[in-house]
Amino acid sequence: MISCLRRAGVEVVERHETVWDGREHKFGVGARAAMRLAAAELRLLRAAESASVDLQSATRVLAVARHGDRFLVETSRGALSATALVLATGGRSLPKSGSDGAGYEFARGLGHSLVATTPALVPLVLDGAMGHGIHAELSGVSIDGEIAVWVDGAVATRLSGALLWTHFGISGPLVLNASRHWARARMEGRGVHLTLNMRPGERFEQVDANWTAAVSARPRATVRSTIAADLPDAVALAVLKVLEVAPDLPLADLTRVDRRRIVHALTAWPLPVVDTRGYNFAEVTAGGVDLAEIDPATMESRVCARLFLVGEILDVDGRIGGFNFQWAWSGAAAAAAALARMSGAGTAGPGSERR
């Protein structure tokens, strides 16, 4: 992928970290990076121009059909006919960008089957009415944590990262990554719930042993300051409010039962998820065209010759970290190479014409 971009004259900067600025949906793109993106776009447009690509922006594809050896594409600016077709219409996420799921129906009409879709990389809505609905008062507070996804009574997945409380529930990279697991299990009708470990990497016994040691070492320290040694003070107060433990209680006066309740709250805080924020707030779509129907070497359909499908329209979704872009671009590069081979071999090569 990188060499493909470099061949098109695009400057590639390799980094191995995702920068998150602690606010909802804000992954850092500085001014320099934005300029590089604009320059990359320009280079790609120039490369397309010099390859005589006929780019038609602000054009909506309304219908796609196969007639004999050709594809007929009905657009908002008239009809096109082509010998090969690439569906790169994305998923259902952020429909205002134009990716509204229309491509799934095109694929279905050309013979493909679909794996049911759900939003993914999406914030989660918490039940504000439940006793643990502390998210509204913690709105804007962020911590490092670990989410356990429980499916049918057992932990199916554990993920770690930054969690952000918001006015509607929870967001941040950790939650976005966990969301597809919750949404898929819910769609399949399975019992699913999430718990948050605010002491990532530590289990109940270890945290409880630390608290027991703290009671001996610092008996006059308060429960609030003990929690707040590792977490924001607002979180300490919210946890103690829900547990109905006085924040200024000295550790020496903490009962064994309350100590264990606090440790349990810190390591397995229930997150009463009622829904995702939906496709309008989802970065990707899980589900899509069944991968079994695609040749991974060329991205050509196995059910409709010379139809290629790339990117999010397929049943692939990745965690945060650029994997979705990588999947879309790599698939596109594989499809482009296959199309070039097709035309070079002089078979019914790719080409399109206005009708």
Ligand X SMILES: Cc1cc2nc3c(=O)[nH]c(=O)nc-3n(C[C@H](O)[C@H](O)[C@H](O)COP(=O)(O)OP(=O)(O)OC[C@H]3O[C@@H](n4cnc5c(N)ncnc54)[C@H](O)[C@@H]3O)c2cc1C
Contacting positions for ligand X (CB under 6 A):
27, 60-61, 88-90, 93-94, 97-99, 102-103, 283-284, 311-312, 322-325, 328
Exposed, middle or buried by CB within 10 Å (0-12, 13-18, 19+), for 334? buried
DSSP 150-194: EETTEEEEEEEEEEEE-SSEEESHHHHHHHHHHHHHHHTT--EEE
Nearer to ligand X, 31 or 257 (CB): 31
Least CB distance to ligand X at residue 149 (A): 21
Nearer to ligand X, 94 or 268 (CB): 94
Nearest to 321 by CA among 271, 273, 284: 284
Least CB distance to ligand X at residue 89 (A): 4
User: Tokens 């219908």 map to which residue?
Assistant: 63
Least CB distance to ligand X at residue 114 (A): 15
Name the token pair of 222. Answer: 């308060």
Beta bridge partners of 125: 169, 275
Least CB distance to ligand X at residue 279 (A): 9
Least CB distance to ligand X at residue 177 (A): 12
Q: 24-46 burial string, b = 16+ CB within 10 Å, else e?
A: beeeeeeeeeeebeeebeeeeee
User: Tokens 């004259």 map to which residue?
Assistant: 9
Nearer to ligand X, 146 or 317 (CB): 317
Nearer to ligand X, 33 or 305 (CB): 33
Least CB distance to ligand X at residue 327 (A): 7
Name the token pair of 196. Answer: 């948050």
Least CB distance to ligand X at residue 283 (A): 4
Within the chain, where are the H helices? 2-7, 31-50, 102-109, 173-187, 204-217, 223-228, 233-243, 256-267, 323-344
Nearer to ligand X, 93 or 222 (CB): 93
Nearer to ligand X, 126 or 282 (CB): 282
The Cα–Cα gap between 132 and 235 comes to 12
Nearer to ligand X, 75 or 157 (CB): 75
Task: Classify strands 154-165 and 169-171 as parallel, antiparallel or unpaired.
Answer: antiparallel
Name the token pair of 239. Answer: 């946890």
Least CB distance to ligand X at residue 307 (A): 15
Nearer to ligand X, 34 or 209 (CB): 34
Nearer to ligand X, 58 or 257 (CB): 58
Task: Classify strands 269-271 and 192-197 as parallel, antiparallel or unpaired.
Answer: antiparallel
Least CB distance to ligand X at residue 317 (A): 8
Task: Classify strands 61-67 and 70-75 as parallel, antiparallel or unpaired.
Answer: antiparallel
Q: How far apart, in Å, do the first and last CA atoms of the chain sit? A: 35
